[in-house]
């Protein structure tokens, strides 16, 4: 009982986490793992078309990537930012072929085979975007993509990102579903690795995206607010060699960015003990519970096709009761103890604890219960800026600030 009270009192002071990620890369942002479109370009008779021009246009921000097919008519457009794409193929003497609404998820290799018809015959192929998983035949890895719809729509207690890891094969929840509780394929949770937009974000001592002083598992729930997450991929085993750190689960998170259209949201999620039945351990009355999570986000263009922003805020307010039930040395045991250890026996009985009558069948032990209250206040804000320098270079900056008051 005493140790629990001490641990709670240690969090009465507020903590602050602030970090900034910046990236400058050739052609596109590295997202961790293979994110690309690849396939072949052929004519109506099945012959390959070398040196055909293939362009992938990001439908959200207008970014364009262009490559040429090789001598076998094969092409790869690598290192794409997860989004919706329009793909155009053209070659001399052939009509342009166009595929719209192609969904590219984090870490995915999307196959796309195109057929060009002779010039003078126009063709436009529209692909209806779906959230169905594409069978990845390019790698033996085992994992799952958690898409934008699932991130925003699946019900989660406390909106904890780590609970969505459980959609990947081989994942096991060994606790309450926090970052420290998820294991993959029997490996330790400390072996997991988490990346944000390709940047390593794992803590030193555990699999959290951050900790306190490199020594304590972070109690932050909003260190990775779902409001900032567009989608992510979890690879649980057999992943390729580019995942160089960690031998457990590999989590690649893609943060939200602005687009050519202004978008925003306002939300609130709540829980209240008025909707709950009495807990089995609530012997002297129902424990209080008030949980509110609320916030807003907005994103859009600063300069269309060139400069974008995305900003978000989320608050977390928890007022709840805590029930602690433990076996402690009884008063009969204390009466037989030598004077030197009597203070240690007294330390097991925290102020406000009481004996549950008839709960113990051993006269040397009492079953004690301590009911107390806890208050947690968290605030998290984030900002991402994306800037397209030219067709070959782009840059982004992503910053997060979070505060915690636990008492």
- 199 by Cβ neighbours in 10 Å (0-12 / 13-18 / 19+) ranks as middle
Neighbours of 239 (CB within 10 A): 21
Bridge partners of 84, per DSSP, are 103
Indicate the pTM of the whole model. 0.74
Alpha carbons 236 and 202: distance in angstroms, whole number = 16
Beta strands in 238-332 (DSSP E): 250-255, 263-272, 289-303, 307-329
Query: Which ranges in 35-127 belong to alpha helices (H)?
Result: none
Residue position matching structure tokens 């060994």: 174
The token pair that represents 376 in the structure block: 């947690």
Q: What are the b/e assignments for 46-71, b being 16+ CB within 10 Å?
A: eeebeebbbbbbbbbbebebebebee
Tell me what pLDDT residue 221 has: 72
Bridge partners of 229, per DSSP, are 255
Alpha carbons 286 and 276: distance in angstroms, whole number = 9
Beta strands in 91-228 (DSSP E): 97-104, 109-111, 114-116, 125-126, 142-146, 171-173, 182-184, 193-196, 199-200, 211-212, 216-217
Helix (H, G, I), strand (E, B) or coil at 117: coil
Calculate the dihedral angle through the C-alpha atoms of 143, 58, 263, 127, rounding to the nearest 10 degrees. Answer: -70
- The answer to whether 29 and 63 are in contact (CB under 8 A) is no
Q: How far is CA 108 from CA 103, 123, 144, 147, in A?
A: 10, 27, 10, 12
The two domains 2-27+140-321+375-406 and 36-126 share their CATH topology (first three levels equal): no
The token pair that represents 235 in the structure block: 């690879």
The token pair that represents 70 in the structure block: 């090789």
Closest CA to 151 of 83, 82, 230: 230
The token pair that represents 71 in the structure block: 């001598």
The highest-level CATH class for domain 2-27+140-321+375-406 is mainly beta
Alpha carbons 151 and 159: distance in angstroms, whole number = 9
CATH of 36-126, one of 2.60.40.1120, 2.40.160.20, 1.10.1060.10, 3.40.50.300: 2.60.40.1120
Domain boundaries defined on the chain = 2-27+140-321+375-406, 36-126
Q: What are the b/e assignments for 149-176, b being 16+ CB within 10 Å?
A: eebeeeeeebbbbbbbbeebebbeeeee
Give 218's DSSP letter. Answer: -
- For the chain, the first-to-last Cα distance in angstroms comes to 16
Low-confidence ranges of the chain (pLDDT < 70): 1-34, 120-139, 204-207, 210-220, 244, 283-285
Going by C-beta distance under 8 Å and a sequence separation of 6 or more, which residues neighbour residue 185? 170, 236, 237, 248
How do residues 120-146 score in pLDDT, each as one tens digit?
A: 655 555 555 554 556 666 667 788 888
């Amino acid at each position: 009982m005493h140790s629990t009270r001490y641990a709670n009192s240690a969090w009465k002071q507020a903590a602050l986490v602030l970090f900034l990620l910046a990236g400058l890369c050739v052609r596109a942002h590295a997202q961790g793992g293979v994110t690309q479109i690849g396939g072949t370009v052929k004519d109506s008779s099945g012959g390959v078309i070398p040196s055909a021009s293939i362009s992938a246009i990001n439908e959200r921000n207008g970014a364009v990537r262009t490559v040429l097919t090789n001598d076998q008519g094969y092409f790869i457009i690598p290192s794409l930012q997860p989004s919706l794409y329009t793909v155009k193929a053209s070659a001399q003497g052939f009509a342009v072929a166009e595929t719209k609404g192609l969904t590219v998820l984090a870490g995915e290799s999307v196959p796309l085979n195109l057929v060009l018809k002779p010039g003078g015959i126009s063709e436009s192929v529209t692909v209806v975007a779906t959230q169905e998983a594409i069978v990845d035949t390019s790698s033996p890895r085992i994992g799952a993509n958690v898409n934008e719809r699932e991130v925003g729509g699946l019900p989660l207690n406390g909106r904890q990102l780590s609970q969505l890891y459980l959609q990947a094969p081989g994942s096991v929840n060994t606790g309450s579903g926090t970052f420290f509780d998820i294991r993959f394929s029997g490996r330790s949770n400390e072996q997991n690795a988490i990346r944000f937009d390709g940047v390593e974000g794992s803590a030193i001592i555990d699999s959290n995206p951050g900790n306190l002083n490199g020594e304590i598992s972070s109690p932050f729930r909003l260190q990775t607010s779902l409001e900032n997450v567009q989608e992510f991929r979890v690879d649980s085993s057999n992943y390729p060699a580019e995942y160089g750190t960690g031998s457990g689960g590999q989590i690649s998170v893609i943060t939200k960015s602005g687009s050519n259209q202004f978008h925003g949201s306002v939300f609130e999620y709540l829980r209240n003990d008025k909707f709950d039945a009495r807990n089995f351990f609530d012997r002297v009355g129902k424990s209080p519970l008030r949980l509110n999570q609320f916030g807003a986000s907005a994103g859009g263009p600063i300069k269309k096709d060139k400069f974008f922003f995305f900003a978000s805020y989320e608050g977390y307010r928890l007022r709840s009761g805590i029930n602690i039930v433990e076996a402690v040395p009884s008063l009969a045991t204390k009466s037989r103890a030598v004077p030197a250890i009597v203070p240690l026996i007294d330390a097991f009985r925290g102020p406000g604890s009481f004996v549950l009558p008839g709960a113990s069948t051993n006269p040397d032990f009492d079953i004690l219960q301590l009911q107390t209250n806890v208050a947690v206040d968290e605030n998290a804000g984030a900002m991402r800026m994306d800037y397209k320098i030219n067709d070959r270079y782009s840059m982004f900056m992503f910053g997060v600030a979070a505060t915690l008051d636990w008492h």
